Structure 1
Amino acid sequence: MTCSEFLAQLDDLIDDKVAAPLRSELEEHLRGCEHCVITLNTTRKTIEIYRTHELYELPNELRERLQSAILAKCRKC
């Protein structure tokens, strides 16, 4: 299994919607790929943080600056 194949299954792995044979392949990949271990752990932690914190409104000025920065970055790609 490649890292790209692993990443394609990441959502289902986190949601525990992976059949046993595929889960074994994913776990085997994780045993030999520190990059994917970090990606999995970081994704899980991000979801956990998101679920445990309240959402709040950004001040308009900050929201506009953030949106402008994101759009500028996207134009460069």
Structure 2
Amino acid sequence: MTCTEFIALLDELIDDSLPAETRAQLQEHLSGCEHCEVTLSTTRKTIEIYRSHEVYDLPDTIRKRLHDAIIARCKHGC
């Protein structure tokens, strides 16, 4: 199992819709790949935050920096 293969199956892993053999291969990969472990953990946490419908207020300075960065990125063809 490569990291690319792991990422391709990430949705199904989170949805718990994989055959047992594939899930075992993913778990084996996770046991030796910190990058994919962090990716899985971060993805799960992101889903959890969105499901909870929590709204986070950003300080005006951070909000402006984020907005400016998004606009600049889009102007360069994001």
Shorter-normalised TM range: 0.7 to 0.9
- 1:4-47: CA deviation from partner (whole Å, max 9, x where unpaired): 00000000000000000000000000000000000000000000
Equivalenced residues, count: 69
Please tell me the root mean square deviation across aligned C-alpha atoms, in Å. Answer: 2.3
TM norm structure 1: 0.74
**After superposition, where does 1:1-77 map in structure 2 within 5 Å?**
1-53=1-53, 66=67, 70=70, 72-74=72-74, 75-76=76-77
Identity %: 62
Is there any run of 5+ residues in structure 2 with no aligned partner, and where? 56-62
Q: Quote the Cα distance in structure 2 between the aligned partners of 1:42 and 1:71.
A: 25
TM-score, normalization by structure 2:
0.73
- Provide the C-alpha distance between the structure 2 equivalents of 1:47 and 1:27, rounded to a whole number of angstroms: 20
Q: 1: distance between equivalents of 2:54 and 2:38?
A: 25
Name the SS of the counterpart of 1:7 in structure 2: helix
2:5 is matched by which residue type in structure 1?
A: E
Distance in 1 (CA, whole Å) between partners of 2:31 and 2:4 is 16
* SS of equivalent to 2:17: coil
Provide runs of 4+ in structure 1 moved above 3 Å.
Answer: 68-72, 74-77
Alpha-carbon separation, structure 1, partners of 2:71 and 2:3: 29
